[in-house]
Structure 1
């Protein structure tokens, strides 16, 4: 059944539309954020290395890509914000609630993601100046930094840069930005990979990352891999719904999704070839957890020839990756504000940025500056926002998409533009496989379902 075109469209202005190449770069930029350089190495280290990486690839292909095709198809058909895409594409009005959740999720993520992005910029400056390596107490150095007021300064810097890019719009801002940053990221990745692979003892790290030991896998690891495959593609957070609204109608949905998935996977692969050889060379445990990047790796750079230079490049790489994600995340609530309040882009960006900064303040204070936000309910305010957004809202968003496409959206075939055979496979995945797996991820990530090895 042919869907009626909505009367109001975010992409009605040609300047608010991606070119085919620009769309793919922007979508890859969204997916290659801090998750693949910061989170992916430590969860891979905690879950057995190469076998977990293979499991991640499997989850990315079997679940991540079908949901990616679904979100982009809904966005391109509805041509609205994440909040209105479901209903504008022709589905039940009840799904507007889930669309609103996919506006709330990136808003909350931005409030703590800006903070981490600020950390990366700070560490890049410290590394290039050599100040980072004046003391070997990297744990104390990081703790002293996050419990002070400098994170607020860097937070504002990163937020201002992000806002300036988004103010310039889709074609003139987000697309142009990614056309510069993505090639720059590739150059930095290659330089750092070569440096890591030529370190003494690097082969042990490569073996850990690429030689699978399937005995180390568990049901718990499978759900972690599935959750990260979903998160790394920026699914469930309104980004792909929003980007779909700015997508050219003639662009192949299948080809675009495959290119985005390949870009995400290549980035994760190179990230592993940077981190694991480096930590193996300097005797750092691969399961060091979230502190791996900001506490363990500086110790490696301090002992490396030209460590200040390579450490600076590494944190610049993290900062660039973070910016490509913050730009995408900010566009989601901005597009909603423009649509809902009929605001022009610049005031919408300024309003949303101000609100994000306001919500960020308790997280900034939760690292020891205020007892009120440091440990409410057993978690810091920062950790609570991360938990609610990443572990609850994102899986709910993904589950809603699979149910919508699998059971309620009559225009799915036309919107996806897949060949008959591929469409049947895709619809089967969206009806019977993805919803079950997304429900398991939601139950596991929210703490309701606990699996024992």
Structure 2
């Protein structure tokens, strides 16, 4: 495929208006809201935490989201170059490179979990998932075998193929096909969950707030997840912004993406909590909830093999739409930096990311020597990216768009009233809160 950049290395590929919104929603509706959101909500009291998450989404998530899109569209470059093309100095070049390194590191372990969802989809539909009652042993046996490497290869090939097809012919078409399927599965599984016997307790837990259970730590967790669920700080929306038509209203797109993310989180909660309460499963089971606790619930449910299979297909779709978005960031950088074609960039970056990620998958059991302290290599990369790099990048984005970039205000296309609110949130609310999240998640601040 021919290089799709002009001689100034500025992207010439472009999303349609609807295609951009769907691709951005696809990047946000990943494993975060279907896997992480339910268990952190369960650990922090349910409905009150969900409301806190919504507040954080509005106060911090959307302002930073709009800033990323504006930087990307105005810079018309990869995430590594957008800051400097808008007047940032050498230090901002370093921040841009972090915007490329971060998604590369995230994808190296995220693609492993994508592979888990593929494996569990097949296990559920084949009936082998429910052939045992020891779901914890089944999961541990799987992740400590070589099978995750096989599924890691399958998942990486799939997303590299999509990226190699291009922005409109690959990413946009991919999301236009999979997002409606995902929406249908979400509604079907939600209806099944809320009609289970005893589901009302789970619905009440998720939708009837008890603010007495909230702590200062809950607020920072909600803030961090609002940031993570929108794919902020990963360079994704900055990269996608470079493919957005100059006439597309960024404010409207920002709200649409935020609403899509929120609806997904709401339905995810209405799938997970009614199911767990109906079968007597604690809602605070932690990260293993999806792969261990929920299979136990599906095994006791009429047609559980079908609904369990559909659930893991849903999880796989959500995971792979996000993975495609993550891979596009270093691919865009490779095209810009070395003048490679999209095809060469996609397959080369995917191969390097797979090679880097293989030891992470093996560190879960096959190679116990790949454990440093109390964490595996998989856990360390997860910790560093989620708890240090992402909040750090969020903080830098607010500083750049709020104070360094002089044309930030006019680039958004907002009316004067909304523009004042956006600048207030971006300059004074978001930076302080993002700094608190960074200090908390890195372990500097404790309660």
SS of the aligned residue for 1:371 comes to coil
Give how far 1:423 is off.
1.1
> For residues 97 and 387 of structure 1, what CA distance do their matches in structure 2 show?
21
Map 1:158-173; keep pairs closer than 5 Å. 158-173=155-170
Q: Deviations over 1:160-201 (max 9, x none)?
A: 010000000100000000001110100000000000011000
> For residues 83 and 372 of structure 2, what CA distance do their matches in structure 1 show?
36
SS of the aligned residue for 1:183 comes to helix
SS of the aligned residue for 2:373 comes to helix
Give how far 1:87 is off.
1.1
Give how far 1:421 is off.
1.5
- Aligned mate of 1:19, from 16, 21, 24: 16
1:206 is matched with which residue? 203
1:231 is matched with which residue? 228
- Aligned mate of 1:247, from 225, 237, 244: 244
Q: Check if 1:279 corresponds to 2:246.
A: no
Whether the aligned pair in 1 keeps the contact of 2:117 and 2:316 (CA below 8 Å) is yes
Q: Check if 1:393 corresponds to 2:389.
A: yes
2:61 is matched with which residue? 64
- Aligned mate of 2:42, from 25, 41, 45: 45
1:421 is matched with which residue? 417
Give how far 1:432 is off.
0.9
> For residues 70 and 433 of structure 2, what CA distance do their matches in structure 1 show?
21
Whether the aligned pair in 2 keeps the contact of 1:123 and 1:132 (CA below 8 Å) is yes
> For residues 101 and 193 of structure 1, what CA distance do their matches in structure 2 show?
38
> For residues 223 and 8 of structure 2, what CA distance do their matches in structure 1 show?
36
Deviates more, 1:218-227 or 1:414-423: 414-423
1:30 is matched with which residue? 27
> For residues 145 and 88 of structure 1, what CA distance do their matches in structure 2 show?
47
Whether the aligned pair in 2 keeps the contact of 1:122 and 1:154 (CA below 8 Å) is yes
Whether the aligned pair in 1 keeps the contact of 2:59 and 2:429 (CA below 8 Å) is no
Q: Deviations over 1:49-88 (max 9, x none)?
A: 0000000000001110000000000000000000101111
SS of the aligned residue for 2:231 comes to coil
Give how far 1:371 is off.
2.0
2:440 is matched with which residue? 444
Q: Deviations over 1:79-121 (max 9, x none)?
A: 0000101111233342111111111111011111110010011
SS of the aligned residue for 1:372 comes to coil
> For residues 73 and 270 of structure 2, what CA distance do their matches in structure 1 show?
36
1:219 is matched with which residue? 216
- Aligned mate of 2:308, from 302, 308, 311: 311
Whether the aligned pair in 1 keeps the contact of 2:116 and 2:148 (CA below 8 Å) is yes
Q: Check if 1:407 corresponds to 2:403.
A: yes
> For residues 232 and 96 of structure 1, what CA distance do their matches in structure 2 show?
26
Whether the aligned pair in 2 keeps the contact of 1:10 and 1:79 (CA below 8 Å) is yes
Map 1:46-445; keep pairs closer than 5 Å. 46-373=43-370, 375-445=371-441
Give how far 1:7 is off.
6.8
Whether the aligned pair in 1 keeps the contact of 2:111 and 2:323 (CA below 8 Å) is yes
Whether the aligned pair in 2 keeps the contact of 1:92 and 1:408 (CA below 8 Å) is no
The 3 A distance-change label for structure 1 pair 225 and 138 is same
CA RMSD of aligned residues (A): 1.0
Q: Deviations over 1:263-296 (max 9, x none)?
A: 0000000000000000000000000000000000
SS of the aligned residue for 1:270 comes to helix
> For residues 365 and 231 of structure 2, what CA distance do their matches in structure 1 show?
31
1:3 is matched with which residue? none
Give how far 1:305 is off.
0.2
> For residues 219 and 212 of structure 1, what CA distance do their matches in structure 2 show?
16
> For residues 411 and 86 of structure 2, what CA distance do their matches in structure 1 show?
9
What are structure 1's unaligned runs of at least 5 residues? 1-5
SS of the aligned residue for 2:427 comes to helix
> For residues 61 and 285 of structure 2, what CA distance do their matches in structure 1 show?
27
What is the number of equivalent residue pairs in this alignment? Answer: 442
Deviates more, 1:127-136 or 1:414-423: 414-423
2:3 is matched with which residue? none
Q: Deviations over 1:382-428 (max 9, x none)?
A: 00000111111111110000001111110111111111111111111
What are structure 2's unaligned runs of at least 5 residues? 1-5
Give how far 1:216 is off.
0.3
> For residues 42 and 171 of structure 2, what CA distance do their matches in structure 1 show?
33
Give how far 1:9 is off.
4.5
> For residues 255 and 21 of structure 1, what CA distance do their matches in structure 2 show?
12
TM-score (norm. length: structure 1): 0.96
Whether the aligned pair in 1 keeps the contact of 2:360 and 2:377 (CA below 8 Å) is yes
Whether the aligned pair in 2 keeps the contact of 1:9 and 1:79 (CA below 8 Å) is no
> For residues 9 and 361 of structure 1, what CA distance do their matches in structure 2 show?
32
> For residues 92 and 251 of structure 1, what CA distance do their matches in structure 2 show?
29
